[in-house]
Amino acid sequence: MKICMIGTGYVGLVSGTCFADLGNKVLCVDKDLKKISKLKKAISPIYEPGLDDLIKNNFRAKRLDFTDNIEKAVKDSQIIFICVGTPTKKGSNLVDLSQVYNVAKAISKYIKTYKVIVTKSTVPVTTGDEIERIIGNKVKRSLFDVISNPEFLREGEAIRDFKYPDRIVIGSNNKKIFKKMELLYEPLIKKGAKFFSTSRKGAELIKYASNAFLATKITFINEIANLCEEADINVEDISVGIGSDARIGSRFLRAGPAYGGSCFPKDTKGLVSIADKFKTNLSIVKSVIKSNHNRKMLLTKKVSKILNNKLKNKKITVLGVTFKANTDDMRESSALVLIPYLIKKGAKVTYYDPSGYKSDFKKNKNLKFEKTLIKACLGADLIIINTEWDEFKSIDFRKVVKKSNFKIYDMRNLYNPSELKKRNLKYYSIGR
Ligand code: UDX
């Protein structure tokens, strides 16, 4: 099929490239000319393992192209995906839909033959109604349908999550559309993906409810980890013990620092704002937001405790500063709270991240970025492991620190406490 993706961020670029890889002819549209010219050289503006090659292969095969010309994209496509950002409005739980509505206005100028307009961006319940109204101001109702097709891609695993989805969710108020979308996703359905159709508002809510539930699951095990630390229990035993129940499921039960990223924080707040609009109180989601926020400071205070509240002039190395491994994304990373706090307390902080230097910290004094793990760890009083990059999973601590007396705070439980105890290493972790 001939499709276009409007917006070439994580969602539009990964989905567009993967749709091309399924044999479709895909045009990715962005108004950022710098981004478009980089993409035309098959250079991905986002850090996503495997994406560069996939872009290169499909661009060369002429299944994938990039343009800033939205008129051409709309005219040449049967299906138009809206994949622009829907950030949280500063200081509120509300979702900023200005980019989505601007795209709706823009495409309505060029619809001359029947089109399917698909919101793939995460949009609050009833956004599809508003898009339909905006386009309907300019275009005959029989010439378009607006449907919802949320994505469930994780950063760092996005290509895999696209190619092997648990389910494909299509929300439409016009049953005719489901066949067309089933055809588009046929290669994935053949490999076992469940195709699930619902109302347009139903699909819009599924996305928020999905992310809010995953955030709830993580926050639950994080709070259980707090209890385990006080009761001298291993939280990983609890994760396995409860996760083995098929009704609970073992994934997303890894205790760690507060969850971050561009989605869980945004979508939990977005869901609360949707519920407020429908005068419904989502007390559990509200407490998840609060608990996760508090966790950032809780773990930062734990660092003070580990160093007997003597942080001044201590050399602290932070390994991994992004919100999780296999991404360069700093959005809502707990390191953005941890590092400034340690510096404020007088510590000398060094960080290393496999995805490179982070401009988020450029204003911080007493903070150094080292290009290698070995250089970052040399002479540290405390090593904090903040993300679960593979590179952090088998460190010979004594060899890299080259000091007799240092401590390790493993916020991702990458190591076995009894192993490290045998090697007389002072090791702290989460919920163990
Ligand atoms: C999430 C959803 O998983 C994805 O389906 C949706 O489309 C976008 O939002 P993402 O934010 O990329 O994906 O990352 P994810 O792997 O879900 O991790 C989110 C946060 O939860 C990270 O900070 C991660 O470290 C944390 N996490 C995840 C845990 O602390 N424990 C876990 O067991 C899993």
Residue-wise pLDDT tens digits, 237-262: 999 999 999 999 999 999 999 999 99
Residue 375 has what pLDDT?
97
The pLDDT of residue 366: 87
pTM of the model: 0.96
Mean pLDDT by 10 residues, the chain (432 residues): 96 97 98 93 90 96 97 97 94 93 98 98 97 98 97 96 97 93 97 96 98 98 98 98 98 97 95 96 98 95 95 97 96 96 96 97 93 98 98 97 96 97 96 96
215 CB within 6 A, ligand 1: no
Is the minimum distance from the CB of 214 to ligand 1 under 6 angstroms? yes
Distance (Å) from CA 73 to ligand 1 centroid: 32
Contact assessment for residue 302 and residue 411, using Cβ atoms and an 8 Å cutoff: no
Using the mean position of ligand 1's atoms as its centre, give its distance from the Cα of residue 370 in Å: 26
pLDDT at 43 (0 to 100): 87
The single residue of 4, 18, 228, 263 carrying the catalytic annotation is: 263
CA dihedral 272, 136, 71, 33 (to 10 degrees): -20
Structure tokens at 122: 């995460």
Give per-residue burial for 59-72: e unless 16+ CB within 10 Å, then b.
beeebbbbbeebee
Q: Is 260 in the pocket of ligand 1 (CB under 6 A)?
A: yes
Ligand 1 pocket member 271 (CB < 6 A) = no
Evaluate whether 316 touches 380 at the Cβ level (below 8 Å): yes
CATH code of the region 294-428: 3.40.50.720
As a whole number of angstroms, the distance between CA 206 and CA 147 comes to 14
Give the long-range contacts of residues 370-373, CB within 8 A, separation 24 or more.
373/319, 373/400
Rg value, the chain, Cα: 24
Fold equal for 208-293 and 294-428 = no
**Pocket perturbation via mutation, ligand 1, pick of 88, 154, 157, 338 by most ligand atoms within 8 A of CB:** 154
Ligand 1 contact, 269 CB (< 6 A): no
Determine the atom of ligand 1 nearest the C-alpha atom of 161: 5
The two three-digit tokens of residue 156, written as one number? 């760092």
Q: Whose CA is nearest to atom 26 of ligand 1?
A: 259
| Cα(297)–Cα(290) distance, integer angstroms | 12
261 Cβ inside 6 Å of ligand 1: yes
CATH code matching the domain that covers 2-198, chosen among 3.30.70.890, 3.30.360.10, 3.40.50.1110, 3.40.50.720: 3.40.50.720
Task: Of 62, 53, 64, 84, give the one whose Cα is nearest residue 17.
Answer: 64
Going by alpha carbons, the residue nearest to atom 21 of ligand 1 is: 259
Return the pLDDT at 42: 86
Cα 208 to averaged position of ligand 1 atoms, centre (Å) = 13
Helix orientation angle between 200-231 and 264-277, rounded to the nearest 10 degrees: 120
* Strand pairing report for 64-67 and 25-29: parallel
Indicate whether residue 42 lines ligand 1 (CB < 6 A): no
Closest by Cα among 83, 125, 124 to 103: 83
| Residues 100-148: tens digit of each pLDDT | 999 999 999 999 999 999 999 999 999 999 999 999 999 999 999 999 9
Q: Please check whether residue 188 is in contact with residue 247, taking contact to mean a CB–CB distance below 8 angstroms.
A: no
Q: Which atom of ligand 1 is nearest to the CA of 222?
A: 30
> Both tokens of residue 159?
């290509």
The answer to whether 349 and 316 are in contact (CB under 8 A) is yes
Q: Which CATH superfamily is domain 208-293 in?
A: N-(1-d-carboxylethyl)-l-norvaline Dehydrogenase; domain 2 (1.10.1040.10)
Give the number of the atom of ligand 1 that is nearest the alpha carbon of residue 329.
12
| Calpha distance 353→320 (Å, rounded) | 5
Angle at 389 between CA 388 and CA 391, to 5 degrees: 125
What is the whole-number distance in angstroms between the Cα of residue 170 and the centre of ligand 1?
A: 23
Domain boundaries, the chain: 2-198, 208-293, 294-428
Q: Does the active-site annotation cover 263?
A: yes
